[in-house]
A and B are shown apart, each in its own frame.
Chain A
Amino acid sequence: MSEVSNPPQVAAVEPTLALNSRSKVIAVTSGKGGVGKTFVSANLAAALAKRGLRVLVLDADLGLANLDVVLNLYPKITLHDVFTGKSKLEDAIYKAPGGFSVLLAGSGMVEYSRLAPEVRDDFLRIMESLVPNYDIVLLDTGAGISDVVLFAVSMASEVLLVATPEPTALTDAYATIKVLGAQQKRQSIRMVINQVARTGDGTAITTQLQQVLDRFVNKDSEHPLKLIHMGDIPVDPAVRQAIMKRQLLAQSDPGCPAALSLTQLASKVESAVIKHGS
């Protein structure tokens, strides 16, 4: 893999990760909860791993994420144990069913969700030592716009925002986009629209969001914010079945339409991040 040096996108916050590390970190976020953010993180990770990439998914929601539930994986050692010095970092990294690595926060991390400076430093230190071992690190962030989410996003070179076509999810996605643009001077945010009814709906939604942004935000901004449509995931009964069975799509129904769309998404993500294509 080639090291990419992106222009710094996080001008508004203090320097976090070194650029060569940051370039492979993708924050997967959403405005609203329940739009499939963790589902996308886990299944995208599996699809990327299938392409031969070394992938780590990190539960950046500090104990509030459902990554363990989605993966049906309940590790004894978590990020919390690493923070408290009880365990070594390498012992907290588990192999998930999809062939990628996963580092879970552990429920004890909830007390850290206020993100004290020392927790931030710990987190950064952990990220610095982890990132070089992987081609792509996915940060599964929490819902809403908390300081933890903003911090996680600030460590990432790319933001992948998951939304659904519902009005409430779109409003939340739009609010998140505005905040990320204003707070972190992001220039681009990558969009994934989950649960679309028809092919092309997701593209239309991203276009619509972009038009509203152009009209209300970009018009007097020095940093016009660009949305990059990365893909749609169709409504697919196989998704629900996989979630109920607590399996990845690649395990339960690798040929279903949603799985195929995730494969396409992985290909786009790889070319965007590794080869720095789009």
Chain B
Amino acid sequence: MQSILDGLCELSLRDPLTGLSNRRHFNHLLNREIESVARSGESVLLLIMDIDHFKKVNDTYGHHAGDLVLQAVSKCLASCVRPMDTVSRFGGEEFAAILPNCPSSFGPVVAERIREAVAALAITVSPSETIQVTISIGGAYAPEWVRSTIELWTERADEQLYRAKSSGRNRVFIEEQRGVAVSADEKGMLFGHLLLGDPASASIAGDTSSSAVADTEMNRAN
């Protein structure tokens, strides 16, 4: 009985063709990240990825070949990310990945790694045919400290995917992370007194204040 229940749970969370998280499960995880970001200011990246010219694959080699491509790409995507990350099939040839605790310097690196890995795949679709595909990737960070919504967040990642597609495909575009609400210098000055016991000596050299957060999400909220 338990194994049947486990099986059903597994089914309800996964895309049957690729074994990746389905969109429903992914949205659930996104909501959880949104809560976490709002409370912790953690840096979380959302990637939306779309196989380029996938329709051509289906039209040229047939739907079975299309399925094999989806499966191969899925496996490749899952192998490119950390165990804590989640890759999902959003539907059709569109995929998404959520990368918690992802510093802004790391995002483009991992997205580029994914793009290269997919381009390097040789997918056998019939005994005599091996094909190659490419993927376009758009990404957006959750606005730190702000409770966003799934819609607003995915919309921003989608905009970047659109840029990747319209500038020739097989590309990565990631929205620049918005100014962190509290810079390292500010933190240094905030906690200086805790370490030194004297607020006056806690001033940190350098005046690179980060700009105040003015996120799309918050502007829309007002």
Determine whether the beta carbon of B213 is less than 8 Å from that of A147: no
Name the distance in Å between B191's Cβ and chain A's nearest Cβ: 5
Q: Is B214 an interface residue (CB 8 A)?
A: yes
Other-chain residue from A13, A114, A171 in contact with B149 (beta carbon distance below 8 A): A114
Q: How many A-B residue pairs have CB under 8 A?
A: 104
- Which among A12, A147, A215 has the highest number of chain B CB atoms within 10 Å? A147
Determine whether the beta carbon of B41 is less than 8 Å from that of A172: yes
| A50 CA to B191 CA, complexed, in Å | 38
Q: Is B183 an interface residue (CB 8 A)?
A: yes
8 Å CB interface, A77-107 against B: none
Other-chain residue from B186, B214, B222 in contact with A174 (beta carbon distance below 8 A): B186
| A142 CA to B199 CA, complexed, in Å | 31
> Do A215 and B147 form a contact, CB below 8 Å, given A32-B39, A145-B218, A172-B41?
no
Determine whether the beta carbon of B218 is less than 8 Å from that of A211: no
Determine whether the beta carbon of B185 is less than 8 Å from that of A147: no
> Do A12 and B222 form a contact, CB below 8 Å, given A212-B186, A215-B189?
yes
Q: Which of A19-27, A130-138, A175-183, A262-270 contacts its partner?
A: A175-183
In the complex, residue of chain B having the shortest beta-carbon distance to the beta carbon of A179: B213
Determine whether the beta carbon of B38 is less than 8 Å from that of A146: yes
In the complex, residue of chain B having the shortest beta-carbon distance to the beta carbon of A13: B222
Q: Is B221 an interface residue (CB 8 A)?
A: yes
Q: Is B194 an interface residue (CB 8 A)?
A: yes
Determine whether the beta carbon of A208 is less than 8 Å from that of B199: yes
In the complex, residue of chain B having the shortest beta-carbon distance to the beta carbon of A181: B212
Specify which chain B residues have a CB less than 8 angstroms from the CB of A144 in the assembled complex. 38-39, 145-147
Determine whether the beta carbon of A145 is less than 8 Å from that of B185: no
Specify which chain B residues have a CB less than 8 angstroms from the CB of A182 in the assembled complex. 212-214
Q: Is A277 an interface residue (CB 8 A)?
A: no
B157-197 interface bits toward A, Cβ cutoff 8 Å, 1 = contact, 0 = none:
00000000000000000000000011101110111011000
Name the distance in Å between B129's Cβ and chain A's nearest Cβ: 48
Q: Is B217 an interface residue (CB 8 A)?
A: yes
8 Å CB interface, A103-123 against B: 113-115
Name the distance in Å between A181's Cβ and chain B's nearest Cβ: 7
In the complex, residue of chain A having the shortest beta-carbon distance to the beta carbon of B150: A114
> Do A147 and B218 form a contact, CB below 8 Å, given A208-B199, A216-B186?
yes
Q: Is B126 an interface residue (CB 8 A)?
A: no
Interface SS majority for chain A:
helix
Determine whether the beta carbon of B194 is less than 8 Å from that of A167: yes
| A144 CA to B183 CA, complexed, in Å | 18
In the complex, residue of chain A having the shortest beta-carbon distance to the beta carbon of B35: A144
Name the distance in Å between A200's Cβ and chain B's nearest Cβ: 13
> Do A145 and B193 form a contact, CB below 8 Å, given A12-B222, A32-B39?
no
Other-chain residue from A32, A174, A184, A204 in contact with B182 (beta carbon distance below 8 A): A174
Q: Is B209 an interface residue (CB 8 A)?
A: yes
Name the distance in Å between A243's Cβ and chain B's nearest Cβ: 20
In the complex, residue of chain A having the shortest beta-carbon distance to the beta carbon of B187: A171
Determine whether the beta carbon of A151 is less than 8 Å from that of B221: yes
> Do A208 and B193 form a contact, CB below 8 Å, given A144-B38, A178-B181, A178-B182?
yes
Specify which chain B residues have a CB less than 8 angstroms from the CB of A211 in the assembled complex. 189, 199
Q: Is A150 an interface residue (CB 8 A)?
A: yes
Determine whether the beta carbon of A183 is less than 8 Å from that of B222: yes
> Do A217 and B146 form a contact, CB below 8 Å, given A175-B181, A183-B218?
no
Determine whether the beta carbon of A216 is less than 8 Å from that of B183: yes
In the complex, residue of chain A having the shortest beta-carbon distance to the beta carbon of B147: A146
Specify which chain A residues have a CB less than 8 angstroms from the CB of B186 in the assembled complex. 174, 212, 216
8 Å CB interface, B115-171 against A: 145-147, 149
State the A residues within 8 Å of B (CB).
12-14, 31-33, 113-115, 143-151, 154, 167, 170-172, 174-176, 178-179, 181-184, 204, 207-209, 211-212, 215-217, 219
Q: A149-B147, A167-B194 are in contact. List 5 more A-B contacts (CB 8 A).
A: A143-B39, A175-B41, A179-B212, A181-B212, A183-B214
State the B residues within 8 Å of A (CB).
38-39, 41, 145-147, 149, 181-183, 185-187, 189-191, 193-194, 199, 202-203, 207, 209-210, 212-214, 217-218, 220-222
11 cross-chain CB contacts under 8 A: A13-B222, A143-B39, A145-B218, A150-B221, A171-B182, A175-B145, A175-B213, A179-B145, A179-B213, A183-B222, A212-B189
